[in-house]
């Protein structure tokens, strides 16, 4: 019974958006409501030398972008809420895609001025494929932007969502006066900089009341009446079951930086968002209410605290109860491991947990035992599915810029590759190291982190590679012939798997035709 009660308390979700839509700021305001932090950092402000709680890597603070998924937990209205704040930048999409495997629902943040942007389209497509329930928060209403109905049309046409507005703005930019909550039938009057008081909230069941004219002026009141009438005529009512199936998306309007409209989003979320959901494995479906513990690693992060050189594997608990100092089966390594100090997170603040339940994210100190996708169980062999890996799109030679620090460089490269931010290939003919990434910005992040976390410096050299393909052949004689002929194009990845590095699409096609018995794969299973 206790397990079921714990499951019912938990809501685990991710926040996704295009860069600079205000995702990290929204995360902070949610944490403020939960009492998890007392003051908000001013994201990307040069005047105020505070920073967003969830952006805890130095390079994130300098550039004002999130480059690693942050995990944070807080309590609100009797629920334990786990937030995963993901990178918005396209060069870090791989981290975001993996993180979406560990959440039960998502909140998509849209910038009122820019509307739906390309990165948001890609991320929402992944959520829709998985039938992940989606809520939308249209942010920055205190600035001039697109018309509310035009934004709803964009959500439907570009993202393929069926939407149901649950709050509606009164004006925008200079004319922004507040939001009317269709969900709670209340008018919230806007005051800047987060000084939102209870007296600013007026219960208005009937929009035809004269009180509305007094509070916001007759012209704005008439416009609100007309627009809410249109919403009631055109858009479906909130159907919680349809939302949970991923078929309907509630939409809220507000200004995260001013902490306005956020509470309405959060109050609706805690009522309707799903509790921990079943998870698919190759063997069977795992139900959260099962007695036996199971979970999978969806992220690895080295040096969360650079002073302590710690490497942490993030584990999503899928079933049963995880307990400290208990032996669990590492399925891939086929051996038992126990954890003396598993941690829960409030961004960079960590605390040791005695037990954790389905939906929770636990950090496990890791000396190199884990890879992304690894499963922990009480003995059952389970392989969780749907954790994506990508063939790199950009390649560069990596060279040691300080020969006295070669040991530190090698250690740093290995640990950063284990995080999944990039892939390492070692050429068979020259033993030179090549880094492959999904986006160019990752090269800068690797260089910065090697210097600041490992004390090693590196430089890059361009290399002309079109595609990396993992190769396999059951016939050892054929494979030996292939490797001797193509040695100049072959490398090993960090796990020792053979990889063909094609200079161009034409060469790849030619090699595939000339060696029909050799198989070429464009994703590497972790």
pLDDT digits (tens, 9 = 90+) for 220-250: 889 989 999 999 999 999 999 999 999 999 9
Instruction: Examine the domain organization and report whether 174 and 215 are in the same domain.
Output: yes
What pLDDT, on the 0 to 100 scale, is given for residue 64? 43
Distance CA 281, CA 279 (A): 7
Is-contact 242 225, C-beta < 8 A?
Answer: no
Instruction: Examine the domain organization and report whether 441 and 514 are in the same domain.
Output: yes
The H-or-E segment that residue 507 falls in is helix 505-514
Instruction: Examine the domain organization and report whether 129 and 233 are in the same domain.
Output: yes
What pLDDT, on the 0 to 100 scale, is given for residue 36? 54
**Section 43-57 average pLDDT:** 40
Confidence of residue 7 (pLDDT cuts 50, 70, 90): very high
Instruction: Examine the domain organization and report whether 290 and 328 are in the same domain.
Output: yes
Instruction: Examine the domain organization and report whether 197 and 291 are in the same domain.
Output: no
**What does the block give as tokens for 365?**
């100190």
What is the pairing mode between strands 394-400 and 458-462?
antiparallel
Averaged pLDDT of the chain: 83
In 3D space, the residue among 147, 152, 185, 145 whose CA is nearest the CA of residue 167 turns out to be 185
**Residue for token digits 């709680």?**
53
Instruction: Examine the domain organization and report whether 136 and 209 are in the same domain.
Output: yes
Question: Is 370 inside a domain boundary?
Answer: yes
pLDDT at position 59 over 50: no
What pLDDT, on the 0 to 100 scale, is given for residue 238? 94
Q: Give residue-wise pLDDT tens across range 421-455.
A: 788 999 999 999 999 887 777 788 888 888 888 89
Domain count of the fold of the chain: 3
Least confident of 301-310, 341-350, 464-473: 301-310
Distance CA 395, CA 182 (A): 51
- Between 271 and 392, the higher pLDDT residue: 271
Rounded to two decimals, the pTM is 0.75
What pLDDT, on the 0 to 100 scale, is given for residue 177? 85
Burial of 360 (0-12, 13-18, 19+ CB in 10 A): buried
Q: Give residue-wise pLDDT tens across range 147-197.
A: 999 999 999 999 999 999 999 998 888 888 888 888 888 888 876 554 444
Question: Is 4 inside a domain boundary?
Answer: no
- Which residues form the domain of 256? 11-76+105-272
CATH code for the domain in which residue 262 is found: 3.40.50.300
In 3D space, the residue among 267, 297, 234, 244 whose CA is nearest the CA of residue 137 turns out to be 267
**What does the block give as tokens for 232?**
């009631």
Confidence of residue 411 (pLDDT cuts 50, 70, 90): confident
pLDDT at position 43 over 60: no
């Amino acid at each position: 019974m206790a397990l079921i009660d714990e499951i019912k308390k938990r809501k685990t979700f991710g926040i996704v958006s295009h860069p600079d839509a205000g995702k990290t700021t929204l995360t902070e305001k949610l944490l403020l409501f939960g009492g998890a932090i007392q003051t908000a950092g001013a994201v990307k402000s040069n005047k105020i030398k505070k920073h967003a709680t969830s952006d805890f890597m130095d390079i994130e603070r300098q550039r004002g972008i999130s480059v690693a998924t942050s995990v944070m937990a807080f309590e609100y209205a009797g629920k334990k809420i786990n937030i995963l704040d993901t990178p918005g930048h396209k060069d870090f999409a791989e981290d975001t895609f993996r993180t979406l495997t560990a959440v039960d629902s998502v909140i998509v943040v849209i910038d009122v001025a820019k509307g739906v942007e390309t990165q948001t389209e890609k991320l929402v497509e992944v959520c829709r494929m998985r039938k992940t329930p989606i809520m939308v928060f249209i942010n920055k209403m205190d600035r001039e932007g697109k018309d509310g109905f035009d934004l709803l049309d964009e959500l439907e046409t570009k993202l393929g969502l069926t939407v149901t507005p649950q709050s509606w703005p009164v004006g925008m930019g200079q004319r922004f006066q507040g939001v009317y909550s269709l969900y709670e039938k209340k008018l919230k009057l806007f005051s800047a900089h987060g000084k939102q008081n209870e007296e600013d909230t007026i219960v208005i069941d009937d929009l035809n009341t004269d009180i509305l004219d007094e509070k916001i002026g007759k012209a704005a009141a008439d416009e609100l009446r007309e627009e809410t009438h249109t919403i009631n005529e055109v858009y479906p009512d909130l159907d919680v079951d349809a939302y949970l199936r991923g078929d309907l998306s509630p939409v809220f309007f507000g200004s995260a930086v001013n902490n306005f409209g956020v509470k309405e989003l959060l109050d609706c979320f805690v009522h309707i968002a799903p509790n921990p959901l079943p998870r698919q494995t190759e063997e069977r479906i795992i139900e959260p209410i099962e007695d036996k513990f199971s979970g999978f690693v969806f992220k690895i992060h080295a040096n969360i605290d650079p002073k302590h050189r710690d490497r942490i594997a993030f584990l999503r608990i899928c079933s049963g109860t995880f307990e400290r100092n208990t032996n669990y089966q590492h399925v891939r390594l086929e051996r038992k491991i126990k954890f003396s100090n598993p941690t829960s997170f409030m961004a960079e603040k960590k605390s040791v947990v005695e037990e954790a339940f389905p939906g929770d994210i636990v950090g496990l100190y890791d000396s190199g035992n884990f890879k992304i996708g690894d499963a922990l169980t009480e003995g059952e062999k389970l392989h969780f599915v749907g954790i994506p890996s990508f063939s790199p799109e950009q390649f560069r030679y990596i060279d040691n810029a300080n020969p006295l620090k070669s040991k530190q460089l090698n250690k740093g490269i290995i640990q950063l590759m284990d995080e999944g931010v990039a892939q390492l290939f070692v050429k068979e003919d020259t033993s030179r190291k090549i880094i492959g990434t999904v986006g160019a910005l990752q090269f800068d992040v690797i260089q910065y982190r090697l210097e600041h976390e490992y004390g090693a410096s590196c430089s890059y050299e361009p290399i002309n590679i079109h595609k990396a393909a993992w190769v396999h052949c059951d016939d050892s004689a054929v494979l030996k012939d292939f490797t001797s002929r193509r040695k100049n194009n072959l490398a090993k990845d960090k796990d020792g798997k053979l990889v063909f590095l094609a200079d161009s699409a034409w060469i790849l096609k030619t090699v595939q035709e000339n060696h029909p018995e050799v198989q070429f794969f464009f994703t590497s299973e972790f």
